[in-house]
Amino acid sequence: MNISSLEFLDISSNQFTGTLPSTISSLKSIKILQLDDNNFQGTFSLALLANLSNLKVFQISTKNTNNLQVQTETPSFLPTFQLNVLKLSHCNLNSKTSSKIPMFLMSQHALKFLDLSHNNLVGTFPVWLLKNNTNLEYLILTNNSLTATLQLPPFKHHLLHLRLSCNTLHGHLPYHMGFLLPSLTHFNVSRNSFQGNIPLSIRKLGSLNIFDLSNNKFSGKIRMSLFSSMPELSRLQLGNNNFSGSIEDELQDSPDLIVLDISENRISGSIPRWIGNLTDLLYLQLSENHLKGKLPIELCSLQFLKFFDVSGNQLHGSIPSCFNVPSLNYLYMQDNNFSGPIPKAFSKSKELVAFDLSQNRFSGHIPSWINLFSSLQFLLLKGNHLRGSIPRHVCGLREMNIMDLSSNKLKGSIPSCLGSMSFGISKRSKSSYESMGLDFKSVFFIEIDVLFDGKGMFWKISHEDKYSEGEIEVNFMTKNRLEQYKGNILKYMCGLDLSNNELSGTIPPQIGYLHKIHALNFSHNKLKGRIPETLCELKQMESLDLSYNLLSGGIPSNLSQLDFLSFFNVSYNNLSGVIPMSPHFRTFVEGSYLGNPNLCGVVAGKGCSSPKGRPRNQYEELMRDEDDKINEYVETFYWSFVASYLMVLLGLVIVLFVNPRWRGIWFYFVHLCCSYLFNYV
């Protein structure tokens, strides 16, 4: 087939593997060559394209960044083409040589789109790309290792998108950037080391759509008026910096704002009431600041919210009764001083996935309408003043992964219906589960649309910003320490914590039906009776804490079947009998069994003796079995060693007897050894 006249080739977004053929250099008429989003392997040199003078669009990336390596410096080349679109993403660009930005780009002057992201490139910010390409609209250099400061050309540039997140850039933003980049719509420098104030010239960016300075070292006061009169502003992300002071001025005329993040700063004062005017807001993140006062009633106007986080502040008072947001998926209000009963207004948020009110001063009962949250996976009410019994309505939460009701004043028995809850056995399909994640991480898609008219072929660049599943965080006590679970690990972690309450009665045997649970904590209650034998069915269990209760009887020996159990604590109960002698229980420290005077065994440091002082038959037999096994292993080893030695010796004799040549060599070797020893002596 003659391919020299081919002008357009698009094999992107497939599952192609193997190396790219050198015959690509034969595509003399090619204008658009799109190879991205495949599984190509090996090394590909861009020098193969040097003589494709008609080439305007070239894209290559891989789904597995460990397989493909694109080289532009070895061998070096001078291209005959002038590209409009170049994408070299996720391809280990120049990883075997300099890891620098390709030098052939010095000769390119017609670029409109350039993506070199996810390559760990080193060096300074390439301001020369902007100087040489005055029509460049998209510059994407995310996830590299670029250093130094951000430099801009000394003239107005038509750049629309500048994405520099996840590098090591530092210094101040150019104070005149608003004048030099007046057309800018997307500006993302998150996860760098920039510092200083936000330049006042930002107010000149009237077309700004996304402005992300998160995870840097910016400081000073946040002047919201800088972002007023930006009718297309949809995302304003200033989280995890050093901004301080109160927010005094108002953000006006930004009707399309859907993401506002000023979390993890040192913002003080009260929550601004004007936030209630941002009626299209989906994501409001105000956590980890020094905010005080009550939740303003104006927040009730945010009827499209999906993510609301005011955790880690000094807010107090009751929740406004009008705060009933049907669209809410994630509600984080932990680590404040909120008080009063859990408001019934929350019952309108039936699509909640995470509900965290822990470490506040909420009082009253756990509401019976809690079972309306059919999608709830994380229920965290730890450290409040909740009283009464655990309502059976919680058993209706069929998607539950982590439930923490610890450190309250709950009484009564543990509902046996808890054993019917999912705790890791979700009925939700994977696709619907993943769709619930809303941390509003930007995922950028570029699409080249090839069009035809009467004069021939042309193309246009279109893009789309989507929000991927982000890292939802949950703090949960397991293995006697507070762990922070976030991101994908939350799909697999599940636990139940009812500790530090006043629960009584027995542990329901039905708890053994929670086959996927990883952590179980019933400590510091008034539970009595025996440890259920059914707990041996919890095959995924890693942490089991039953300490500080009134449990009696023995430790079920079948708990030794829990292969993943790494933390076990039954201290300060009324347990008796022999501690199981399995390898698992030998690894648990003596403190796991303290406060049980009738427990005995090697781990407890106490022998199991009968009232007459003679060893109990059960313990004696266990120890005798262990000794017999050890003696049997030693005896087997000795006999195996003797048999192996005799086999080697017999084999040597047979070889020397059958083969005269080898026999002669052997005797000659023995003669040399004897001569050497004689001379040495």
Beta bridge partners of 354: 330, 378
Run of H or E including 530: none
Q: How far apart are CA 508 and CA 449, in angstroms?
A: 62
Does 32 fall in a domain? yes
With beta carbons less than 8 A apart as the criterion, state whether 188 and 159 touch: no
Residue 101 lies in a domain: yes
The whole-number mean pLDDT for each consecutive block of 10 residues of the chain, a chain of 681 residues, reads: 82 90 91 92 93 94 84 89 94 89 95 95 96 96 96 96 97 97 96 97 95 97 91 95 92 89 96 94 96 96 96 96 94 97 94 96 96 94 97 93 96 95 65 40 57 57 54 81 81 91 97 94 97 94 96 93 92 93 80 91 68 44 49 63 76 72 71 67 50
Cβ atoms of 544 and 537 within 8 Å: the answer is no
Select from 102, 137, 172 the last residue of a domain: 137
Residue 86 lies in a domain: yes
- Listed residues 137, 171, 194: the one ending a domain: 137
Does residue 284 fall inside a structural domain?
no
Q: Say whether 486 sits in a helix, a strand or coil.
A: strand
Backbone angles phi, psi at 426, to 5 degrees: -80, 140
Is residue 89, in this structure, part of any structural domain at all? yes
Number of domains in the chain: 2
Q: Does residue 379 form part of some domain? A: no
Q: Burial code of 395-410, b = ≥16 C-beta within 10 A, e = fewer?
A: bbbbbbbbbbbbbbeb
- Is 540:520 a contact under the CB 8 Å cutoff? no
- The pLDDT of residue 654 is 76
- Give the pLDDT score at 349: 94
Residue 80 domain flag: yes
Residue 461 tokens read as 């660049």
Q: Which domain holds residue 640?
A: 625-680
Q: β-strands 441-453, 456-468: how paired?
A: antiparallel
Helix, strand, coil percentages, rounded to 5, for the chain: 25, 30, 50
In this prediction, residue 209 carries a pLDDT of 95
Kind and range of the H or E element at 540? none
Whose CA is closest to 176, among 203, 196, 139, 216?
203
Cβ neighbours, 10 Å, residue 587: 12
**Does 425 map to a domain?**
no
Q: How many Cβ atoms sit within 10 Å of the Cβ of residue 309? A: 22
- How many helices and strands, by DSSP H and E, does the chain display? 6, 45
Please give the angle made by the CA atoms of 643, 646 and 651, to the nearest 5 degrees: 125
What's the per-residue H, E or C state across 55-115? CCEEEEEECCCCCEEEECCCCCCCCCCCCCEEEEECCCCCCCCCCECCHHHHHCCCCCEEE
Query: Which residue reads 């708990």 in tokens?
Result: 559
The predicted pLDDT at position 618 comes to 46
Q: What is the pTM of this model?
A: 0.84
Inter-residue contact 110 to 82 (CB < 8 Å): yes
